[in-house]
A and B are shown apart, each in its own frame.
Chain A
Amino acid sequence: MPEIELRGITKRFGKVTAAENINLKIRDGEYVTVLGPSGCGKTTLVKILSGIWEPTEGDCFIDGRKVTGIPTYERDLGYIFQNIALFPHMTVWQNANYAPIVKDWDREEADKVTTESLELVKSLRRKGFKPFELSGGEKQKVGIARALCAGSKLLILDEPLSALDARVRLELRYEIKRLVKERGLTAIHVTHDQEEAMSTSDRIVLMRAGRIVEVETPENLYNRPKNLFTANFIGEANFIEGSILQCGTGEIAECKTGPLSECGSDECIMETRHKHRLVIKNPAGQFKVGHGVVVMVRPENLSISHDEKEHSLEGRITDKIFMGSFIRYRVGLVTDDTVLVEVPEADDKIFNIGEKVNVKFRPKKLLVYPQPMEGLKEVLSLE
């Protein structure tokens, strides 16, 4: 069964390092997504795994077999391309039938597998069509069928949906996940789309500038990101900078922040810009007085009101966007930070642009990180 291991993979193109010392293990039957901004080295990784490129250093193992130096056509994997790359001179059937033919399978067996695969992606009725007669989504389905026909248990998806319309993309990503799971395949999917990554994968490998940032399940990446870049890349997030003013000693009376917020023994008070205060959690006593910290909170974990004062910062609504089932407000805070707040559309209270509001930061919804050395902007940068 396909089990993948990358050991110390480094790839350099001249002076440019596309991937630096990548170590990664993928279990059998796992759906793993390699996610990251353009140029982070994610495609390099799968190209090396599939043997299209050779690594400068390090080795790949498929099922414990070292595949470095083994040509692509002997690695036994299915590859799905961003630009689909259906052979333009062949019909849908010939495309799907290609792998069985070049592998010299028994004719009957070959046709059976091809029929099956095309049926699986609901494209059998198009078997006499040439690629140019198909829409983008249909083409990619055939691309998937073609890869499945090769009979491999390892599927590499290299930005398979990027070239498609937004709507088609949504439909196809479920289709792909279903196929992979039904067939019990191991899949490695490369994308720059965090939503696509979360919706399809068991685990996400987040990359940046040739290095792995974090390897985690989608839930953990979204809810408990280990670093600031992850927090920002994996979904929209608000960040507020400040420093620890006081740490809870258990004596509640000591640490009132402003009039109403209280801080418990495992909590700290953080001072933001313009000397406003927020209460944050400090479970392991990680932060000490004077430490610079950054607070991250997701827009849907903030709430706004007119009168709620506890754990709140004042602000003024600068923008209001209808997003379907929820409304997104952009609020300029007294700390000079701008935060996004998302509330369900069905909420009775609708606020208007220009209104003065209080934004509530519930301590347990806040994630706190030490202030990055390079500066916050640098760490969050998407480009």
Chain B
Amino acid sequence: MPEIRIEKLRKAFGGLVAVDSLDLQVRDGEYLTILGPTGAGKTTLLRLIAGLEEQTSGSIFIDGKCVNSLPPEDRKVTFLSQTYSLFPHMDAWQNTIFGPTARGWDPEKVEIIGREMLEMVHLYERKDALPNELSGGMQQRNALARALCADAKILLLDEPLRALDARLRLDLRYELKKLVKDMGMTAIHVTHDQEEALTISDRIIMLRSGKVIQSGPPQEIFNKPESPFIHHFIGEANFIEGTITGKGERGARLTGQSGRTYDVAPTELKVGTKAVAGIKTEFTIVGKEPRDGVNDFPGTVQRKLFLGRFTDYDLILDNGHNVHARLPSSVAHKFDEGDRVNVHMDPERLLVFPVPGKGLAKELEMM
């Protein structure tokens, strides 16, 4: 069964460490997403697994077998770039049977398996079409059929949807996952798009500066981020800096720099330690009236941005704090720019973190 295990993997280009003693396990049939900002080492990790780069140290095991010294063609993993790397001079059929032909299989067998795969992705009628004659979605299906045909059960996808139109991306990411699952493949998908990661993955690996900073199913990454950076990267969060000053009504209490207190989620941080609390903009609730007196703050709507499904708000609280909120558009029509509103932050959702080493601003930097 295709199962990947990575131990203490490290890759340095000269003095630049792209992947830093990384441990990772990918289960059979899992759809794993590697998410992180540009330069986090995502692509390098994929290339190491594929055997296209040689690691500086550490080991990679596929199905329990160490593949450190295996050339790419013997690893049975398929690497697909942004454009899926369909060979431009070959038609859909030739692309599909590339793997078996390269391995020198019996032509009759190749014929059967190629046809089976192309029919599975509904492309058999288009088998004579060159890649540039296929639509984006067809190219995607062709590439998957080719990978499966090559007897590869592991797919490495390097930002596969990046080159597509935004709207098309929404449709194709669903289709991509469905096909991968239908074909029973294991996929590792690299992206910098947090929404894509949330919707497509069984599990997300957050990568930053060559290190895994969190790993878990989308829900866990979204609801229980382990650092302010992750909290802010997946969705968007409002942050409050302050000091833990005791117990609140439903958790801990945090006193902000302005002296204002907030009830925050339970924390293991001791009273008196400096801390950062953050809440996702989706859970920063705007209403006409205060909720229950806990974490209710009066404020004014400064700006309103319609996004379709959601509407984003920029608000300024009376305590001087700027916050963002994201509301479903169905309730958003109630509040306009300049309106006085109440902002509620559910203490359960106001997560507490120790103050990051280099300060909050540095921690949250994306670029």
Whether chain A touches chain B in the assembled complex (some CB pair under 8 Å): yes
Query: Bound state CA distance, A223 and B329, in angstroms?
Result: 10
Query: Bound state CA distance, A37 and B165, in angstroms?
Result: 6
- A167-B233 CB under 8 A given contacts A192-B165, A322-B198, A323-B199: yes
- A166-B308 CB under 8 A given contacts A37-B165, A38-B165: no
- A137-B234 CB under 8 A given contacts A235-B309, A300-B330, A382-B171: no
Residues of B within 8 A of A325 (CB): 235, 280, 282-283, 326
- A37-B192 CB under 8 A given contacts A218-B308, A300-B328, A383-B136: no
Contact A135 B367 (CB under 8 A): yes
Query: A170 at the A/B interface (Cβ < 8 Å)?
Result: yes
Residues of A within 8 A of B191 (CB): 166
Query: B29 at the A/B interface (Cβ < 8 Å)?
Result: no
Residues of B within 8 A of A301 (CB): 330
Contact A174 B194 (CB under 8 A): no
Within 8 A of B (CB), among A116-135: 135
Query: B129 at the A/B interface (Cβ < 8 Å)?
Result: no
* Chain B: interface residue total (CB-CB under 8 A): 43
Within 8 A of A (CB), among B171-209: 171, 178, 191-196, 198-199
Select B195's contact among A166, A168, A196, A218, beta carbons within 8 Å. Answer: A166
A85: shortest Cβ distance to chain B, in Å? 19
Query: Bound state CA distance, A194 and B137, in angstroms?
Result: 19
- A219-B306 CB under 8 A given contacts A167-B192, A325-B283: yes
- A195-B307 CB under 8 A given contacts A135-B38, A382-B167: yes
Contact A195 B280 (CB under 8 A): no
Query: B218 at the A/B interface (Cβ < 8 Å)?
Result: yes
- A222-B167 CB under 8 A given contacts A170-B236, A322-B219, A324-B222: no
Q: Which residue of B lies closest to A139 (CB)?
A: B367
Select B170's contact among A137, A177, A218, A236, beta carbons within 8 Å. Answer: A236
Query: B90 at the A/B interface (Cβ < 8 Å)?
Result: no
Q: Using an 8 Å CB-CB cutoff, how does the interface string of A287-324 with B read, 1 for contact, 0 for none?
A: 00000000000101100000000000000000101111
Query: A171 at the A/B interface (Cβ < 8 Å)?
Result: yes
Query: B263 at the A/B interface (Cβ < 8 Å)?
Result: no
Contact A165 B137 (CB under 8 A): no
Query: A8 at the A/B interface (Cβ < 8 Å)?
Result: no
Contact B366 A344 (CB under 8 A): no
Residues of B within 8 A of A136 (CB): 38, 367
- A198-B198 CB under 8 A given contacts A168-B367, A322-B219, A324-B234: no
Q: Using an 8 Å CB-CB cutoff, how does the interface string of B309-329 with A read, 1 for contact, 0 for none?
A: 100100000000000001011
Q: Using an 8 Å CB-CB cutoff, how does the interface string of B209-224 with A read, 1 for contact, 0 for none?
A: 0000000011100100
Query: Bound state CA distance, A230 and B280, in angstroms?
Result: 31
Q: Using an 8 Å CB-CB cutoff, how does the interface string of A155-176 with B read, 1 for contact, 0 for none?
A: 0000000000111101100100
- A199-B198 CB under 8 A given contacts A136-B367, A193-B166, A322-B218: no
- A168-B366 CB under 8 A given contacts A195-B308, A324-B235: yes
Residues of B within 8 A of A324 (CB): 195, 198, 222, 234-235, 280, 282
Residues of B within 8 A of A165 (CB): 37-38, 192, 366
Within 8 A of B (CB), among A327-370: 328, 342, 344
| Residue among A37, A199, A236, A325 with the highest chain B CB neighbour number at 10 A | A325
Residues of B within 8 A of A93 (CB): none
Contact B328 A234 (CB under 8 A): no
Residues of B within 8 A of A79 (CB): none
| Residue among A137, A193, A234, A324 with the highest chain B CB neighbour number at 10 A | A324
Residues of B within 8 A of A198 (CB): 306-308
Select B199's contact among A137, A168, A321, beta carbons within 8 Å. Answer: A321
Query: B269 at the A/B interface (Cβ < 8 Å)?
Result: no
Contact B192 A235 (CB under 8 A): no
Contact B309 A137 (CB under 8 A): no
Query: B258 at the A/B interface (Cβ < 8 Å)?
Result: no
Residues of A within 8 A of B326 (CB): 325
Residues of B within 8 A of A319 (CB): 178
Query: B135 at the A/B interface (Cβ < 8 Å)?
Result: yes
Query: B52 at the A/B interface (Cβ < 8 Å)?
Result: no
Query: Bound state CA distance, A358 and B251, in angstroms?
Result: 39
Query: B305 at the A/B interface (Cβ < 8 Å)?
Result: yes
Contact B198 A323 (CB under 8 A): yes
- A235-B308 CB under 8 A given contacts A166-B193, A300-B330, A323-B199: yes
Query: B120 at the A/B interface (Cβ < 8 Å)?
Result: no
Q: Which residue of B lies closest to A201 (CB)?
A: B306
Q: Which residue of A lies closest to B169 (CB)?
A: A193
Contact A174 B305 (CB under 8 A): yes
B149: shortest Cβ distance to chain A, in Å? 25
Residues of A within 8 A of B306 (CB): 198-199, 218-219, 222
Query: Bound state CA distance, A223 and B333, in angstroms?
Result: 12
Contact B167 A199 (CB under 8 A): no
Query: A138 at the A/B interface (Cβ < 8 Å)?
Result: yes
Q: Which residue of A lies closest to B199 (CB)?
A: A321
Query: Bound state CA distance, A233 and B137, in angstroms?
Result: 16
Query: Bound state CA distance, A319 and B198, in angstroms?
Result: 14
Select B192's contact among A166, A234, A382, beta carbons within 8 Å. Answer: A166
Query: Bound state CA distance, A326 and B53, in angstroms?
Result: 40
Residues of B within 8 A of A382 (CB): 165, 167-168, 171
Query: Bound state CA distance, A136 and B330, in angstroms?
Result: 35
Query: Bound state CA distance, A322 and B223, in angstroms?
Result: 11
Residues of A within 8 A of B233 (CB): 167
A341: shortest Cβ distance to chain B, in Å? 13
| Residue among A138, A235, A328, A383 with the highest chain B CB neighbour number at 10 A | A383
Q: Using an 8 Å CB-CB cutoff, how does the interface string of A170-195 with B read, 1 for contact, 0 for none?
A: 11001001000000000000011111
Contact A344 B328 (CB under 8 A): yes
- A192-B166 CB under 8 A given contacts A166-B192, A171-B366: yes
Residues of A within 8 A of B194 (CB): 166-167
Q: Which residue of B lies closest to A169 (CB)?
A: B193
Within 8 A of A (CB), among B216-263: 217-219, 222, 233-236
Contact A322 B222 (CB under 8 A): yes
Query: Bound state CA distance, A193 and B195, in angstroms?
Result: 14
Query: Bound state CA distance, A24 and B348, in angstroms?
Result: 50
Q: Show 10 A/B contacts (Cβ-Cβ < 8 Å), sorted by A.
A: A135-B38, A165-B37, A166-B192, A167-B37, A168-B366, A193-B167, A322-B199, A322-B219, A324-B195, A382-B165
Not counting A166-B195, A328-B199, a sample of 18 additional A-B residue pairs whose C-beta atoms are within 8 angstroms of each other reads: A135-B38, A137-B367, A165-B37, A166-B192, A166-B193, A168-B367, A174-B305, A196-B166, A199-B305, A199-B307, A222-B306, A222-B329, A322-B198, A323-B199, A324-B198, A324-B280, A325-B283, A342-B309
- Top 9 A-B pairs, shortest CB-CB distance: A325-B282, A193-B166, A166-B193, A135-B367, A192-B165, A235-B308, A383-B135, A137-B367, A222-B308
